[in-house]
């Protein structure tokens, strides 16, 4: 497996970086193409390991996928093997998204319970209960979910007890082909949900309530193949902008939507960064700034995103004083804490809250990425740690950051990918 060797920066990160398409939006839209019998197209697709994994799931199902120049063409006309195997689903939770479209279109499917990042269980109960509300019969046996329905799914009402992006994706897609009207209360409102709604409407779905927590879906008998570009990746943009603050540099992220990361920008502004915003770009300037400690709480959108909790923790570790970061979305998402501590960060965990006593110098040590966003956080920490830091298991980073080392090196880093012989 590959690893990163990262020497300490000689100068703060500085420059411009273009943001890629949002992997979380693409994965949902890919699943939506299973609702139709034909060839759909998605553009602005990042080259990522997760894209390959989802493509492999589709090929097992019987679809054909061709990709070039950040565009995917998905031919679902050969879909006839209605099973997503454990060997693939265990590596990426989003492959569970095929459950709703398959049972809605074919009336049956068998999908492995998911795996993914190693920082704790994320149950799929809401996915299953939502599909049952639409008339599906669900059985869980031998690690697989078997979903069946006689004829079409039936329109129904479902209230999410907690906001769930994944469950909203699955149930919304299934509802588009259900007979009658479905109403989803307390649905997720992340930008990736809006992107999915837009794509589904382009396929002929009848959906009201885009951008609100109540989605109303009038099911149709048939959808048409879709075509369109996905949104930019707000988490990638946020990670690089946090990198500007971590290194006390200045970074401009382009080809993005600033409205998608307002909670992050508010936090960076509160700690003392200079924020400049354009229609499709953001610049964070932390040069010569004495940043102050803050408190951060992750929340469903439009709150501070849990996917930026780990990079934000690295930043707080660089600021003199006590900062607090609480993750109310995934309360056990703290596997990066031990690795940051190995670099010298002073962090204490109490339940779902990290107390970060910042400002202490970091020094290099062998560390490992335990999940996707933890990997990005550790890279940022390595940039300011004295000496050369080795980060293993960087395949996690490859899942969600396109061309990561080249992008960050263009800003002044010297990240080197090498073979891990350990």
Work out the mean pLDDT of the chain and round it to a whole number: 95
The catalytic residue positions are 117
pLDDT at site 122: 52
pLDDT at site 119: 40
Same domain, 201 and 287: no
Same domain, 358 and 391: yes
How far is 343 from 363, CA to CA, in rounded Å? 5
Model pLDDT for residues 365-411, shown as the tens digit of each residue: 999 999 999 999 999 999 999 999 999 999 999 999 999 999 999 99
pLDDT at site 364: 97
Same domain, 399 and 291: yes
Same domain, 222 and 266: no
pLDDT at site 313: 98
Same domain, 257 and 377: yes
Using the structure block, give the residue that is written with the tokens 């799931």.
57
Model pLDDT for residues 278-329, shown as the tens digit of each residue: 999 999 999 999 999 999 999 999 999 999 999 999 999 999 999 999 999 9
Same domain, 145 and 116: yes
The tokens of 126 are what? 């809401």
pLDDT at site 421: 66
Same domain, 251 and 397: yes
Please tell me whether residue 324 adopts helix, strand or coil conformation: strand
pLDDT at site 358: 97
Same domain, 97 and 205: yes
At what angle are helices 23-32 and 165-175 packed, to 10 degrees? 20
pLDDT at site 386: 98
Number of compact structural domains in the chain: 2
Q: Among 175, 207, 229, identify where a domain stops.
A: 229
* The model scores a pTM over 0.75: yes
How far is 336 from 317, CA to CA, in rounded Å? 13
Same domain, 272 and 223: no
How far is 193 from 200, CA to CA, in rounded Å? 10
Same domain, 341 and 279: yes
Q: Among 206, 229, 252, identify where a domain stops.
A: 229
φ/ψ (deg, to 5) at 300: -55, 155
The parent domain of residue 104 ranges over 23-229
Q: Among 229, 262, 293, identify where a domain stops.
A: 229
Q: Are 4 and 415 in contact (CB under 8 A)?
A: yes
Helix (H) or strand (E) holding 170, with range, is helix 165-175
Say which residues have a Cβ less than 8 Å from residue 50's Cβ, sequence separation at least 6: 23, 27, 92, 94, 399, 400
Same domain, 149 and 289: no
The tokens of 400 are what? 């969600």
- Which parts of the chain register pLDDT below 70? 115-122, 421-422
Model pLDDT for residues 179-197, shown as the tens digit of each residue: 999 999 999 999 999 999 9
Angle, CA 273 vertex, CA 268 and CA 274 arms, to 5°:
120
DSSP string, 145-162: EEEE-SSS-B--EEE-SS
Q: What is the CATH number of the domain that holds 324?
A: 3.65.10.10
**Alpha-carbon distances, residue 408 vs 123, 129, 376, 387, 414 (angstroms):** 34, 42, 11, 18, 8
pLDDT at site 1: 87
Same domain, 82 and 141: yes
Instruction: Indicate the length of the chain as a whole number.
Output: 422
């Amino acid at each position: 497996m590959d690893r990163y060797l990262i020497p300490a920066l000689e100068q703060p990160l500085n420059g411009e970086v273009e943001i890629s398409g949002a992997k979380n939006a693409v994965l949902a839209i890919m699943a939506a193409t299973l609702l139709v019998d034909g060839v759909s197209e998605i553009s602005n697709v990042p080259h990522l390991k997760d894209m390959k994994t989802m493509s492999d799931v589709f090929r097992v199902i019987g679809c054909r996928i061709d990709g070039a120049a950040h565009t995917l063409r998905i031919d679902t006309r050969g879909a006839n093997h209605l099973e997503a195997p454990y060997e693939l689903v265990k590596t990426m939770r989003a492959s569970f998204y095929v459950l709703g479209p398959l049972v809605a279109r074919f009336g049956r499917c068998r999908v492995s319970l998911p795996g993914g990042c190693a920082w704790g269980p994320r149950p799929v109960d809401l996915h299953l209960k939502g599909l049952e509300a639409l008339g599906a019969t669900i059985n869980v046996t031998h690690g697989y979910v078997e979903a069946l329905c006689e004829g079409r799914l039936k329109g129904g009402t479902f209230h999410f007890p907690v906001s769930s992006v994944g469950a909203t994706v699955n149930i919304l897609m299934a509802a588009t082909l259900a007979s009658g009207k479905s109403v989803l209360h307390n649905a997720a409102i992340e930008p990736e949900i809006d992107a999915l709604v837009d794509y589904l409407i382009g396929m002929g779905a009848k959906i009201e309530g885009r951008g609100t927590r109540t989605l109303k879906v009038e099911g149709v008998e048939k959808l048409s193949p879709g075509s369109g570009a996905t949104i930019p990746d707000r988490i990638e943009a946020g990670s690089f902008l946090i990198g500007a603050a971590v290194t006390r540099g200045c970074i401009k992220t382009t080809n993005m939507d600033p409205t998608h990361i307002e909670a992050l920008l508010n936090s960076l502004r509160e700690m003392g960064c200079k924020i400049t915003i354009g229609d499709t770009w953001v610049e964070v300037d932390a040069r010569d700034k004495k940043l102050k400690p803050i408190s951060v709480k992750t929340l469903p959108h439009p709150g501070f995103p849990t996917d930026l909790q780990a990079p934000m923790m690295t930043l707080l570790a660089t600021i003199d004083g006590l900062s607090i970061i609480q993750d109310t979305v995934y309360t056990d998402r703290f596997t990066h804490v031990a690795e940051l501590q190995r670099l010298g960060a002073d962090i204490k965990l109490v339940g779902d809250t990290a107390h970060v006593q910042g400002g202490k110098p970091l020094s290099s040590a062998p560390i490992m990425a335990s999940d996707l966003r933890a990997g990005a956080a550790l890279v940022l920490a390595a940039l300011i740690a004295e000496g050369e830091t080795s980060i293993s298991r960087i395949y996690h980073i490859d899942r969600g950051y396109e061309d990561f080392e080249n992008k960050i090196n263009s800003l002044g880093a010297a990240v080197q990918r090498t073979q891990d012989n350990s």
